[in-house]
Structure 1
Amino acid sequence: MDQNAEEAGIIATLIERFDKQRLPRALSIKERVDKGERLSEYDIAFLEEVFADANEMRRYVERHPEYHDLAAKAAALYKSIMDKALENEKKEKGDQ
């Protein structure tokens, strides 16, 4: 298999994982943090895994500008989750 075909397969797999696993889970977490809930240990582990994978995926996104917009939107979603989760944590600590 040539390198371009292999890379195309990897990208297709990453997009499918994002679409079927990562995005639904991220949206579920976002919904909960938007309601003021805190992140669970499972949520934190999920986000750590996502950020680790993002570092590996960066090289593919850099070589394929057609995915820049998707990557930027995903990063913005994760950032909004983290920002709101931090806000919720601060509120929780302030209430005690």
Structure 2
Amino acid sequence: MTGNTSDEGIITVLLERLTTQRLPRVLDLHARVERGERLSDYDIGFLSQVMEDAERAKPLCDRNPQLAEICTKMVSLYGAITSRALANEGGDADR
């Protein structure tokens, strides 16, 4: 790692969590909203927690440039999910 060496353990844990827990769930939510489904309160709570975690991890990403691409892609994915979920909610209001 080219950043702060004390970050290595944290990065390892966060990447493990991302690949085994967060990413599979986020990809499932993305597929669901792309099909026009609505998010449950539980799903919204999950995304809220993920966004809070991403905000807390921002300094880590800033200190370790090799993480920039994955951090950017994940935030973009969260944005796409929330935008589409909002559109799905609005579409039902017209019915």
Q: TM-score range by the shorter chain?
A: over 0.9
- 2:79 is equivalent to residue 88 of structure 1: no
Measured against aligned partners, the alpha-carbon deviations of 1:4-31 in whole angstroms (never above 9, x if no partner) come to: 5542100111111111111000000111
d(CA) in 2 for partners of 1:78, 1:43 = 12
Write out the 4+ residue segments of structure 1 that deviate beyond 2 Å after TM superposition: none
Q: What's the TM-score once normalised by structure 2's chain length?
A: 0.92
Offset at residue 42 of structure 1 (A): 1.0
Residue in structure 2 matched with residue 11 of structure 1 by the alignment? 11
User: In structure 1, how many angstroms separate the alpha carbons of the residues matched to 2:16 and 2:56?
Assistant: 16
Which residue of structure 1 aligns with residue 29 of structure 2? Answer: 29
- Structure 2 unmatched ranges of 5 or more: none
Q: Which residue does 1:65 correspond to in 2?
A: 65
Percent identical residues: 41
RMSD: 1.0
Asked if 1:47 corresponds to 2:44, the answer is: no
How many aligned residue pairs are there? 92
Deviations 1:72-92 (CA, angstroms, capped at 9, x unpaired) = 111111111011101100001
Unaligned runs of 5+ in 1: none
